[in-house]
Amino acid sequence: MWLFAPNSVHYLLTLWQRMVASVPYVKSPDPHLLGTYTPEVIKAYIESRLDAVTLIVRDNMEDPLDDLCMVQQQLEQLSVIERCEYNKTCNLLVQHFDQKAREYENLLQTHNSSPIDITVHELQLTWLVYIIGSAIVGRLSVTTSDEHDNMDAELVIRVLQLMSLTDSRLPQTGCEKLELAILSFLDQVRKMHSSDQAQKATVYKRLNEVFGLNDEQMLLSFINRKIITNLKFWGRSEQIITKTLVLLSDLSVHFNSVRKLARLEEVQFMLTHHTSEHFPFLGTSSSLNEMRCRTMFYTSLSRLLMFDLGEDEERFYNFLTPLTNQFESLGNVLMDTKCFPNEEVKKAIIGLARDLRGLALPLNARIQYTMLFEWLYYTDYLPILLRAVELWAHEPAITTPVLKLFAELVHCRTQRLAGNVSSPMGILLFREASKLICIYGNRILHLEVTTDQLYPMKLKGISICFLILKNALGGNYVNCGVFKLYGDDTLHNVLDIIAQLILSIRQSDLLEYPKLASAYYNLLNCLSQDHVTYLTALEPRAFVYILESLNKGLAALDSAIYISCCTILDSIVSYIFKQLQLKTSTFPNKKLRSLSRENTQFLKVVELNSELLQNMMSSLLNNVLAEDCRNQWSMSRPLLVLILLYEDFYRSLKENIIRGQPIEKQQTMAQWFEDLMLGIERNVSSKNKEKFTQNLSTFRRDVANLPKSTTYSTDNSYQVYTETNYSISV
């Protein structure tokens, strides 16, 4: 029936899974008969999968194993069903596995065996390995016994023996689907048997008898040998390399496993021999897609290296030897202005950038991060990366890895860049990152691309530039005032090019691409919080562009963007309010805080574009009155400041809303608006904003309790009153 109703399998397994899962909660003394029928369900599933393989291979039909998501979903359901009458399930699996493994081995030993027969048996064993893995992981759902551990051991032994057989064939050939199943199985074994409690489990007794694996340390060593084997022989398969590296990454994440892994010979081999000679996927012959795996590989190696590195610089630089050799050879080619590098050099740069990003990701401690920075900076390796971007700014395959590397380097993760006031590292790194943004930005601005290539060729790189600057400024490890004080134009140059990049983006594209929108608004959020003076110093059309983008962001469906826009708007309008107060104030010694020429020009720009801020006030008030009011706290902060800035506009807006109510409700609504401003002072202090937030919460609750028959339209008021340019009130 699998051929005619493949989609029904999910629902049938769901039914049996839920019935088996409910058994512990059934208090009825009547027999449930699940012990009779679940083995038949398991048998039907296994045999239907095995029987289907022959037809799929010989008739070239669609293979369910190609849809790993569906397979994984079915196996999760099956894992619960299998543990009911586990003895029968194991006996059935052992019977089928032994038969198919024996036949497979005979086929391999027989000359002139049919390739189709070999493929059929490999795919049948693939299904059995997946199903055995689900049975192993199913022990989480029940209380296991020594008898069950013995059964698990028998299943594990058979799969590991099969793995040894397939590994012996890898220099010549291999089955990709079977390898993926074995990797999935090893991951299940890791989860089930890599714990202190499991070390004395019965399963280790049998593993010791057959493979000499008597504890977790030896099991981890066995798994790591398989990882090295795959990385050595499966470089042509992106899927297997990725799954293998995911397994290595999972092993290197947890402290307990890293502590044991770091002492293994296999791990030490990887830490000292991470070259293309031993791991072909690290070479330049790999495709661009396959090279994406390198970041994950070096992230795992970095975790393993850092576990007990401490301050051992010699060991760290020895680890970097393969990367050092690559930089030295690339530097001779790239820094020579008379020659233009070939494709192999391009791939080498891409690989290096991905490797270094993976290496930097786990470096959370300042000491280890400083070692990496000093190696990159004082050996003049960063200029090589900048030169690559200069040469190939129009090729995202090269620029994206380099830009992402710098985004990671400037990221002050766990304060790894902060705390050392005697070190110039933060400023030096900021200058190099700024050079990169300027080099890339100046070239990408003049790149003409078609609409369908706009994001991959241009906007993606721009979004990463935004991320770099946000990470650099948001890390609080660079005193930006230093640049102006000492006549360094680094900050001015990077902000100028960022403004040009912002203006090169159409407003309609901002919210169309989520990653671009996130990077853009996060950068504005950072600038508005700690560097609002730089925003106000932008050329008028750039500042107006930002206001227009905030107006669009307040209508976005993404809550993160909406909250960011509210926060940015609050910072900007609060700054405007304070500057206007300063302009009109008469306190003594005012000359100590007189308005600069830039701020005077900025206030003129604000005055000329008051309708934008008024529109945003109307939008915020609309959201307060809407039934699905979102993020009330965030919207209340800028709303108060806008009300204080544009009192006349707010008064007109309020009157229009009140007139939209039934006559008998108008007085009540008017009173609610009066209560909204009750106790509010004419300042933008945190205390005043908090009071307004409380008042707004009460106002919102009262409005929400209005009878559903009541109607009002702030949209109409928005249309009417934006025609009038109301003056600013301070």
The pLDDT tens digits for 654-676 are 999 999 888 888 899 999 999 99
In a domain? residue 679: yes
Q: State pLDDT tens for residues 342-384.
A: 889 999 999 999 999 999 999 999 999 999 999 999 999 999 9
Choose among 393, 401, 412: nearest CA to 458.
Answer: 393
CA dihedral 203, 206, 208, 212 (to 10 degrees): -110
Average pLDDT over residues 492-515: 94
Can you tell me the distance from the alpha carbon of 241 to that of 235, in angstroms, rounded to the nearest whole number?
7
| Residue 705's pLDDT band (cuts 50, 70, 90) | confident
Model confidence pLDDT, tens digit, residues 282-314? 998 888 888 999 999 999 999 999 988 889 999
d(CA 359, CA 352): 10
Strand, helix or coil for residue 593: helix
Specify whether the CB–CB gap between 730 and 584 falls below 8 A: yes
DSSP 141: G
- Cβ atoms 239, 180 nearer than 8 A: yes
**How far is residue 159's CA from residue 132's CA, in Å, rounded to a whole number?**
8
Task: Tell me the whole-structure pTM to 2 decimals.
Answer: 0.89
Closest CA to 409 of 352, 369, 437: 369
Residue 140 has pLDDT above 80, yes or no: no
Q: How confident is the model at residue 717 (pLDDT cuts 50, 70, 90)?
A: very low
Backbone torsions φ then ψ of 194, nearest 5 degrees: -100, 65
- Distance (Å, whole) CA 635 – CA 628: 13
Q: How much of the chain, in percent, has pLDDT values that exceed 70?
A: 91
Give domain status of residue 232, yes or no: no
Return the SS3 of 654.
helix
- Reduced to 3 states, what is the DSSP secondary structure of residue 705? coil
Give residue 285's Cα distance to chain centre.
28
Element (H, E) at 377: helix 366-377
From the CB of residue 346, how many other CB atoms can be counted at a distance below 10 Å?
18
pLDDT of residue 572: 94
| Residue 627 binned pLDDT confidence (cut-offs 50, 70, 90) | low
The pLDDT-based confidence of 722 (bands split at 50, 70, 90) is: very low
643: in domain:
yes
pLDDT digits (tens, 9 = 90+) for 529-577: 888 888 888 889 999 999 999 999 998 888 999 999 999 999 999 999 9
- If we measure between CA atoms, which residue out of 463, 512, 630, 627 comes closest to residue 560? 630
- If you search the block for the tokens 């569906």, which residue do you land on? 70
Determine the Cα–Cα distance for residues 1 and 15; give it in Å rounded to an integer: 17
Rounded to the nearest 5 degrees, what angle is found at the Cα of 719, between the Cα atoms of 714 and 720?
Answer: 95
Looking at residue 716, what is its pLDDT? 39
* Total number of domains in the chain: 1
Which residues constitute the domain of residue 701?
614-730
Instruction: Give the model confidence (pLDDT) of 145-174 as tens digits.
Output: 677 778 888 899 999 999 999 999 888 888
What Å distances lie between residue 476 and 382, 429, 430, 586, CA to CA? 22, 13, 11, 35
**Does the pLDDT value for residue 723 go beyond 50?**
no
Q: Is the pLDDT of residue 411 over 80?
A: yes
The residue assigned the tokens 């409380």 is 694
**Looking at per-residue confidence, does 582 or 464 come out higher?**
464
At 565 the pLDDT is: 95
Comparing CA positions, the residue from 134, 230, 227 lying closest to residue 176 is 230
The string of pLDDT tens digits covering residues 574-589 is: 999 998 888 776 656 5
Is 60 exceeded by the pLDDT of residue 266?
yes
Please tell me the predicted confidence (pLDDT) of residue 591.
54
The answer as to whether 214 is a domain residue is no
Q: Which of 576, 570, 580 is nearest to 528 (CA)?
A: 570
Residue 721 pLDDT > 50: no
Lowest mean pLDDT across 118-127, 455-464, 703-712: 703-712
Mean pLDDT of the 640-650 span? 94
pLDDT tens, position by position, 191-246: 876 554 554 567 778 888 888 887 788 888 889 999 999 999 998 889 999 999 99
List b or e across 516-532, with b for residues whose CB sees 16 or more CB atoms inside 10 angstroms: bbbbbbbbbbbbbeebb
Look at residue 518 and tell me whether its pLDDT is greater than 70: yes
What is the predicted pLDDT for the residue at 718?
A: 38
Judged against a pLDDT cut of 80, whether residue 123 lies above it is answered with: yes
| pLDDT of 289 | 86
CA distance 101 to 174: 15
> Taking 70 as the threshold, does the pLDDT of residue 142 lie above it?
no
Tell whether 320 is covered by a domain: no
- State how far the Cα of 536 lies from the Cα of 543, in Å rounded to an integer: 7
Q: What was the pLDDT predicted at 197? A: 53
Burial class (CB in 10 A: 0-12, 13-18, 19+), 636: buried
The Cα–Cα gap between 28 and 684 comes to 67
Residue 439 has pLDDT above 90, yes or no: yes
Q: CA-to-CA distance for 106 and 590, rounded, in angstroms? A: 96
Give the pLDDT score at 713: 47
Residue 672 located in a structural domain: yes
pLDDT of residue 164: 92
Is the per-residue pLDDT at 646 higher than 60?
A: yes
CB count in 10 Å sphere of residue 211: 16
pLDDT of residue 271: 94
Higher-confidence position of 683 and 726: 683
Q: Is 622 within a domain?
A: yes
**Assigned domain for 123 exists:** no
Cα 243 from Cα 255, distance rounded (Å): 21
pLDDT in tens, 25-41: 777 777 777 878 888 99
The three-class DSSP label of residue 710 is coil
What are the C-alpha distances in Å from 58 to residues 53, 103, 114, 120, 318? 9, 18, 12, 9, 53
